[in-house]
Structure 1
Amino acid sequence: MDGHRVTQRMEWTKQRLARHLLYWLLLLTSCLAPLNHSCLVAQETAGDAVAAETVTRDDTAGDQVADDSAADDSEADDSADDDSTDDSATAIENAAAPVVAERNEAPARALAGVAEKRGPRRVTMIEFDGQIDSLSEQYLYRKLDVAEADKPDVLIIKITSPGGEVDATLNMAKRLRDIRWAHTIAYVPEQALSGGAILSLGCDEILVGPNALFGDAGPIFMADDFLFRHASEKFRSHLVEEVRGLASAKHRPPSIAEAMVDMSVVVYEVTSLSTGQRALMTQQEIDASANPDDWRKDNPVFESRDGHFLEVRGQRVVDVKVAQAVVANEAALKARFEPIESWEELHWSRFDTTILILNTGWATALLLIAGLIAIYVEMASPGLGLGGILALVCFGLFFWSRFLGGTAEWLEVVLFLSGVLLLMVEIFVIPGFGIWGAAGLALLFTSLVLACQTFLIPRTRHDLNQFVQSLTVTLLSLIAVAVAAGYLTRRMGRIPLLKNILLQPPGADDEIIAVNPNAPITESLVGGKWVRVGERGRAESPLRPAGRVRLGDHFVDVVSDGVFIESGELIEVIDVRANRIVVRRVE
């Protein structure tokens, strides 16, 4: 599912579902009230998000971005244009006129929103570190929800990031751009490169450290030879439109934002001959203006030279009208907002670390294997027992972490529950293995794969890589479950934990005594009835291998000798031990 379709309301709904599910599983009862926001900030500690990038510095190994086909997804966004590969002069002409008049007003706007409030201010700072992906996107949304509940006057996003996925970056930047409940500030102490720089453009102000790096947001992708290449013109044109819009919305030079993602763009310092106004413009912006001859080109911005993505450091970020000021450290940052009524910091917490761990490949495989084996054990011994509880916990944690990680929605849950229901129908209602069982397995498999990715159909190389990873983890988990199920079927009587709680078929080991017609008859009191070896009755439910039979006037839970027995067939008791009764089909 395209990351562009993720809305704020859907994320809020997903979080509510996840909180309901967590309480339900941990308390082993029916759903309780949803978790409140205080659960999200309890026991906060620092941590790092680890995931694959798709947009970052062109010299950073390990980055990934969408290839030519990624533009097909990006065009679905409400700000994309179907003609993004054509000449962008029309868009530049529309944007240039209102923006040029405000090019040099950005420094004068510093703290303008904060200054409107007199007296002590409430400040909240969110720490955002590491690479950008769907996990870090959901992390920021959770922290923004917590911050909004506190109603701060100033919201600071402390950004230290080398970049990441395009969709996640743009989604977060637009979320910050649309915030009206606080004055937003991006604080960059060390670096905000690629996606980190684009994310900063969504804030009302940008403050940087003395040596902070900013910019270099050129999109790249991994080619078939596993080398990184620059993205196509079609994709780059769409990204240019997005970053220019973000810059214009916050009164920053769109030309500088464009130069960060397009290495062919050169930005000039220009002066209006009629008014003396100075600005930063590209040659295309000059040509698209109402009076091109009125602009005199002075000096090009050195960092925007042809063949290089614009990257600036420290004071130069202020010089090119992107940042408002340079701050030496956090103490100097706090001093800018005196007097301060409260200063709250939201860091990477244990809660966020748990979500990150549960979204890793090995944790996913472990949850799937344990959950599927638990389902098998539960179906082999009907009734809500240890297997059912373990399955609820495993799959509850799986979908809960995927909801909060941004890769699962209601569709995956509905598919999974439908698959389980069809399997139960196949096992307990309709004899044999037919269309119901096959459909159930298909739905289970589909739901697990989709829950591990953010799209329905892969359209880019990055999507394809993620799809292969999801498919591999799911297939290996199913293979492991098949092997484990075969082992459990043969060795169930030898496993200490299972032999005391499940009905087990006899195996070819020393613990099961072979039936001997001449052996003395044994008997046991089960459910108020004495059951003897050799007694006959009829199966009242399918025995697969466990089920229920009728012996005389009593109904008794039994297990077959390893062969499935259909309802209504004649059976004979071949072994009785305590409350465990083994039967076979009478031919």
Structure 2
Amino acid sequence: MTSGYEYIFAYFQSNLNLGIVSSQSMSSIGEFITTPLVTLILTCIIFLGALYQLYSERINFAGILSFICTLIFFIGYVLIDEISLISVLLFGIGALLVIIELFVIGAVLGILGFIAIIGSFVLVGENILTMGMIIAVALILTTIEWVILVKGFNRKIPFFDKVILRDSTNKESGYTSHDDRSHLIGKLCTTYTALRPSGIILVDDERIDAVSDGSFIQKDKQVKIVQVEGTRVVVREI
């Protein structure tokens, strides 16, 4: 008869064998993910998808696919035990700097974050030269995509439109940094105070600072507005 000890031993041996097979399967998956071709495809999708998402108003398929490929990329190197702590730290720091850049005007943090992310990809495996070439190809394709989005489709980063004033500040767009009084040119009005040469005039019951065109003008004299330059109103006695 088979004793209870033999049953227990057989049970643990069976689970140990399954664990070995499972570990070997995971290693095989990791080796497949980290092959140069698959790594190149994943890296290109990550960079291209991230850039497209950056220039999109909502989270879309490109952004989701980029995120999934990033997970697959790093999981592959975790499975073959080649990922380094510095690579993980660089990626985390880089991503954090890029996020901060979205809220802080300027480009320094964004550039540093981008460099850190690139460094994390280069240092993730043992073959730095191969990863460097893969990153170079991905960057070239991403640059082409950027040119198409910005130059071809005139895309802008929607998030920046919310935190940065992009409205036109010219007169044609209806913007003025002060009251526009150019419509007053030629209008007749009365001096509220004497102009020596500056003073106050009364235009339709509104008091406006003004200067004479050079001569002294007494109070309660009728004058004509002959020039307006910003807030400077020039009048001449009639």
Scaled to the shorter chain, the TM-score interval is 0.5 to 0.7
Of residues 470, 478, 489, the one that matches 2:131 is 470
| In 1, Cα distance between equivalents of 2:72 and 2:110 | 25
Identity of matched residues, %: 17
Describe the shift of the 1:384–1:122 C-alpha distance in structure 2 as closer, same or farther (beyond 3 A). Answer: same
Note the alpha carbon deviations across 1:14-70, whole angstroms, 9 max, x for none.
Answer: xxxxxxxxxxxxxxxxxxxxxxxxxxxxxxxxxxxxxxxxxxxxxxxxxxxxxxxxx
Compared with structure 1, are the counterparts of its residues 122 and 387 closer, same or farther at alpha carbon in structure 2 (3 Å cutoff)?
A: same
Larger radius of gyration: 2
Query: Structure 1 pair 389/120, CA: closer, same or farther in 2 (3 Å)?
Result: closer
Residue aligning to 2:220: none
- Structure 1 residue 402: Cα displacement: 1.1
Equivalent residue number for residue 117 of structure 2: 444
CA distance in 1, matches of 2:86, 2:99: 20
- Write out aligned runs for 1:238-249 (5 A): none
For 2:52 and 2:91, how far apart are their aligned partners in 1? 18
> Equivalent residues in 2 for 1:67-466 (5 A)?
122=9, 151-152=12-13, 346=21, 351-426=26-101, 428-433=102-107, 435-453=108-126, 466=127
Given the two structures, how large is their TM-score scaled by the length of structure 2?
A: 0.56
TM-superposed CA distance for 1:419, in Å, is 0.9
Amino acid at match of 1:445: I
C-alpha displacement at 1:571, in angstroms? Answer: 3.2
- Larger relative strand fraction: 1
TM-score by length of 1: 0.25
Identify the residue that residue 546 of structure 1 maps to in structure 2: 158
Structure 1 residues 383 and 409: CA distance shift in structure 2, 3 A: farther
Q: CA deviation at 1:366?
A: 1.1
Q: Cα offset for 1:447?
A: 0.7
Q: Which residue of 2 aligns with 1:486?
A: 147
1:567 aligns with 164
List runs of 5+ in structure 2 lacking aligned partners.
177-238
Q: Distance in 1 between matches of 2:29 and 2:21?
A: 16
Q: Secondary structure at the match of 1:452?
A: coil
Secondary structure in 2 aligned to 1:346? Answer: helix
Query: Would you say the 8 A contact 2:47–2:66 is kept in 1?
Result: yes
Looking at structure 2, the residues matched to 360 and 406 of structure 1 have their Cα atoms a distance apart, in angstroms, of 14
Compared with structure 1, are the counterparts of its residues 422 and 548 closer, same or farther at alpha carbon in structure 2 (3 Å cutoff)? closer
Q: Aligned AA for 2:158?
A: A
The one-letter code matched in structure 2 to 1:414 is: L
SS of 2:105's equivalent in the other structure is coil
Distance 1:353 1:419 in 2: 30
Secondary structure of the residue aligned to 1:451 is: coil
CA separation of 1:365 and 1:548: change in aligned 2, threshold 3 A: closer
Question: In angstroms, what is the RMSD of aligned CA positions?
Answer: 3.8
